[in-house]
């Protein structure tokens, strides 16, 4: 982990350009914020000048009219600068609120949009809970980042530079002491933050995401945990992760405390240098009481800002560390990208053709498909049978273009899916997964997901087709009943029926004639024909151990491959698969269940 972290670019180098890009999307608000806070800081910068004039005037004889006028002018100048500082600061505050909220909203939406479009491999290798944590933590870090940079750090640096210049105009030596001291303090604070605290913070943030992922993993699979009585085992697993997280966070906090102690020592040395230099100038007769007052007032302002600069740099690094993983999400490539000339696909019949298709998963040495060619006629129903990992699920994923091919092409009605818009392609395919996943929403919303905006009558009709209507109306709130996370409040069969209803609502050509629900998926053309009837699309039903009536499946007449043996493994004609199917046949014949064979619908 350490060597990989060393090779990664510094987090600040990733986050600052990203933040600047977000600010440039709102140039007017960003300008108002900068003008407000920097203007308020400049007003504070000239306060010590009028304070020194006021002390010089008060040191004169009270009867001196010019001294009185000078005192009144200094007093009025102090009040005017104070009022101007307040107005400008309030202006900046009113502008930074919508600026930050809009940026947080844009970043959260953009992160979610990108994550949804990442590759299937990325999704499979990432914890959903960790990804959510990265987005939400980064979103809230933007608030701290904007506050630190725009409201605190830039004004503080402006005060330091301005005070150094003003003091140098009066006494070059004192100005040099203040300037060099401020530069040394800021440089040391930055070095401690980036080189000492940031590496530990990066590791602790990674473990923070692991805690979220561990929690989400166990809670999502709570039914499995309960089934195996494994609550104590999951408690121990989380405790192990939390202990390692706590050790990393403790190291980060201790390093931050150590850096803070060093900063306080540097400020003490800086104070001794400035005040000691002012005393030496007074002893040499080179300053008046008013000028000493100006020096001391300027120093205490500088001291306050320097002390805050250390805190601001620490806050900046913390916000940068929290934003780093979110910014990394923005740097991840989108999984499958539409071709530049991609067009909506126009599916009329639904004929599927695989032409010399070769496909390898990333990292695999042997292709899963090697020169696979198959032609599935419109309205035809086929079964893909084979051992686990033989490519049954991959067949449909390639049809949806969840992966790009290594060679060959896939056509639907003669149109290459690689040249079609993904949204258009997938919106015309209905799928019932082997393990259906439902949203933590109402039953009606889950069914209507297949056709946004569908009315209740259409939803109920789809539920009836899936034999789900009866159990739905028996639910506490009927179609408004929440199904729980991933449908946990429903049985396995009920989840299957809701998934079928979702498919029926989109694609009415899927045949609901079977009286039982088997794990599988249906694919059909979603668009109705002009005469009001539904288009007849291809149907594919996939099963691990399907019931047969005694006839073993033959290779589909449209299948050919460079290696018939490999094609046989994919479509269930190798010896081991045929033995497995023979056993299924005997079981099916004893049960008297209907057959599912490759045949025209």
CA pair distance 585, 377, nearest whole angstrom: 26
- 3-state SS record for 273-305: HHHHHHHHHHHCCCCCHHHHHHHHHHHHHHHHH
The pLDDT-based confidence of 94 (bands split at 50, 70, 90) is: very high
Rounded CA-CA distance 537/349 in Å is 6
Per DSSP, the residues of 97-149 read HHHHHHHHHHHHHHHHHHHHTS-HHHHHTS-HHHHHHHHHHHHHHHHHHHIII
CA dihedral (178, 181, 187, 193) in degrees, to 10, reads -110
Residue 566: band (very low, low, confident or very high) from pLDDT cuts 50, 70, 90: very low
Residue 10's pLDDT is what?
66
Write out the E strands in 66-106. none
Q: Which two tokens stand for residue 452?
A: 């946004």
- Parallel, antiparallel, or unpaired: how do β-strands 380-384 and 369-376 relate? unpaired
Residue 460 near residue 478, CB atoms below 8 Å: no
User: What pLDDT does residue 322 have?
Assistant: 83
In this structure, are residues 535 and 349 in contact, taking their beta carbons and an 8 Å threshold?
yes
Q: Is the pLDDT of residue 520 over 60?
A: no
- Residue 408: pLDDT band (50, 70, 90) is very high
Note whether 454 and 498 are within 8 A (CB).
no
Q: Is the pLDDT of residue 87 over 90?
A: yes
pLDDT score for 507: 64
| Res 227: pLDDT | 67
Cα–Cα distance measured from residue 418 to residue 399, given in angstroms and rounded to the nearest whole number? 10
What one-character-per-residue DSSP string does 386-447 give?
-STTSSHHHHHHHHTTSS--SEEEEEETTEEGGGB-HHHHHTT-----SS----SSBHHHHH
- Give Cβ neighbours of residue 229 (< 8 Å, ≥ 6 apart): none
Average pLDDT over the chain reads 76
| Average pLDDT rounded to a whole number, residues 65-78 | 83
Instruction: Please report the domains of the chain, with CATH numbers, ordered by start residue.
Output: 11-171+287-331 (1.20.1560.10), 352-381+389-427 (3.40.50.300), 443-508 (no CATH)
Section 284-303 average pLDDT: 74
Cβ atoms 322, 331 nearer than 8 A: no
pLDDT for the residue 390: 79
Torsion of CA 205, 208, 212, 215, to 10 degrees: 160
Between 6-10, 50-54, 126-130, 193-197, the lowest mean confidence (pLDDT) is in 6-10
For residue 546, pLDDT beyond 50: no
pLDDT tens figures, 381-400: 777 777 877 788 888 888 88
Confidence at 244, pLDDT banded by 50, 70, 90: very high
Residue 102 confidence class, pLDDT cut points 50, 70, 90: very high
At residue 431, the pLDDT reads: 77
Rounded to 10°, the helix 65-116/27-45 angle is 150
* Tokens of residue 68, six digits: 């009185």
Tokens representing residue 114 in the block? 């990108």
Above 80 in pLDDT, residue 290?
A: no
For residue 569, what pLDDT is reported?
Answer: 39
Q: Mean pLDDT, to the nearest integer, of 409-424?
A: 88
If you ran DSSP here, which 8-state letter would residue 521 be given? Answer: -
pLDDT grade for 46, boundaries at 50, 70 and 90: confident
Q: Are strands 407-412 and 352-359 parallel, antiparallel or unpaired?
A: antiparallel
φ/ψ (deg, to 5) at 290 = -65, -40
Of 529 and 148, the structure prediction assigns the larger pLDDT to 148
Q: What is the pLDDT confidence band of residue 517, given thresholds at 50, 70 and 90? A: very low
Chain CA centroid to CA 24, Å: 21
Query: ∠ CA(216), CA(217), CA(221), 5° rounding?
Result: 110
Residue that the structure tokens 């904007």 belong to: 146
Residue predicted with more confidence, 98 or 515? 98
* Listed residue (409, 430, 392) closest to 526, CA to CA: 430
Q: Which residues pair with 369 in a beta bridge?
A: 359
The most confident of the ranges 96-110, 372-386, 478-492, 572-586 is 96-110
Q: Closest Cα partner for 156 from 316, 6, 285?
A: 316
Pair 276, 174: CB distance under 8 Å? no
Q: What pLDDT score does 33 carry?
A: 93
Q: pLDDT tens, 176-224?
A: 877 788 788 878 877 887 778 878 887 888 888 888 878 877 877 776 6
* pLDDT reading at 99 higher than 90: yes
The helix/strand count (H/E) of the chain reads as 21, 7
Residue 467 has pLDDT above 80, yes or no: yes
pLDDT at 345 over 70: yes
């Amino acid at each position: 982990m350490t060597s990989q972290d060393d090779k990664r670019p510094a987090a600040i180098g990733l986050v600052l350009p990203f933040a600047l890009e977000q600010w440039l999307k709102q140039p007017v608000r960003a300008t108002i914020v900068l003008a407000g806070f920097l203007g308020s800081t400049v007003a504070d910068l000239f306060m010590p000048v009028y304070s020194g004039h006021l002390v010089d005037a008060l040191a004169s004889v009270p009867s001196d009219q010019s001294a009185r006028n000078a005192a009144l002018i200094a007093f009025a100048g102090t009040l005017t600068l104070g009022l101007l500082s307040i107005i400008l600061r309030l202006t900046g505050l009113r502008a930074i609120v919508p600026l930050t909220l809009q940026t947080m909203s844009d970043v959260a939406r953009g992160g979610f949009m990108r994550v949804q479009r990442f590759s299937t491999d990325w999704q499979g290798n990432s914890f959903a809970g960790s990804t959510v944590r990265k987005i939400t933590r980064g979103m809230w870090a933007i608030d701290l980042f904007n506050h630190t940079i725009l409201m605190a750090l830039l004004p503080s640096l402006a005060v330091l530079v301005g005070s150094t210049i003003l003091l140098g105009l009066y006494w070059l030596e004192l100005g040099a002491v203040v300037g060099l001291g401020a530069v040394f303090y800021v440089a040391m604070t930055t070095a401690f933050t980036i080189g000492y605290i940031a590496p530990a913070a990066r590791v602790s943030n990674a473990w923070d995401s692991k805690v979220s992922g561990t929690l989400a993993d166990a809670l999502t699979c709570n039914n499995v945990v309960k089934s195996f009585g494994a609550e104590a085992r999951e408690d121990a697993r989380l405790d192990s992760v939390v202990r390692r997280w706590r050790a990393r966070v403790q190291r980060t906090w201790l390093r931050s405390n150590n850096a803070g102690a060093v900063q306080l020592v540097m400020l003490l040395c800086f104070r001794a240098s400035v005040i000691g230099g002012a005393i030496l100038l007074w002893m040499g007769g080179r300053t008046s009481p008013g000028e000493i007052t100006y020096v001391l007032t300027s120093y205490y302002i500088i001291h306050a800002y320097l002390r805050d600069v250390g805190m601001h740099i620490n806050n900046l690094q913390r916000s940068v560390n929290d934003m780093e993983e979110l910014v990394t999400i923005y740097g991840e490539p989108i999984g499958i990208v539409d071709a530049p000339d991609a067009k909506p696909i126009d599916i009329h019949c639904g004929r599927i053709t695989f032409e010399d298709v070769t496909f390898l998963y990333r990292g695999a040495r042997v292709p899963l498909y090697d020169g696979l060619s198959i032609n599935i006629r419109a309205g035809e129903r086929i079964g893909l049978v084979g051992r686990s990992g033989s490519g049954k699920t991959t067949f449909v994923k390639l049809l949806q273009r969840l992966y790009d091919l290594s060679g060959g092409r896939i056509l639907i009605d003669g149109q290459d899916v690689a040249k079609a818009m993904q949204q258009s392609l997938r919106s015309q395919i209905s799928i019932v997964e082997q393990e259906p996943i439902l949203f933590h929403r109402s039953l009606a919303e889950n069914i209507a997901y297949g056709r946004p905006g569908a009315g209740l009558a259409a939803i109920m009709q789809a539920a009836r087709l899936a034999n789900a209507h009866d159990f739905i109306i028996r639910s506490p709130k009927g179609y408004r009943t929440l199904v729980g996370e991933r449908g946990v409040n429903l049985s396995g069969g009920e989840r299957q029926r809701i998934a079928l209803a979702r498919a029926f609502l989109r694609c009415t050509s899927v045949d609901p004639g079977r009286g039982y629900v088997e794990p599988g998926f249906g694919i059909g053309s979603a668009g109705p024909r002009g005469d009001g009837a539904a288009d007849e699309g291809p149907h594919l039903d996939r099963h691990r151990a399907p019931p047969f009536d005694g006839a073993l499946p033959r290779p589909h007449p449209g299948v050919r491959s460079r290696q018939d043996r490999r094609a046989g493994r994919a479509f269930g004609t190798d010896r081991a698969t045929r033995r497995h199917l023979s056993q299924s046949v005997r079981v099916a014949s004893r049960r008297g269940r209907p057959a599912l064979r490759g045949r025209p619908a």
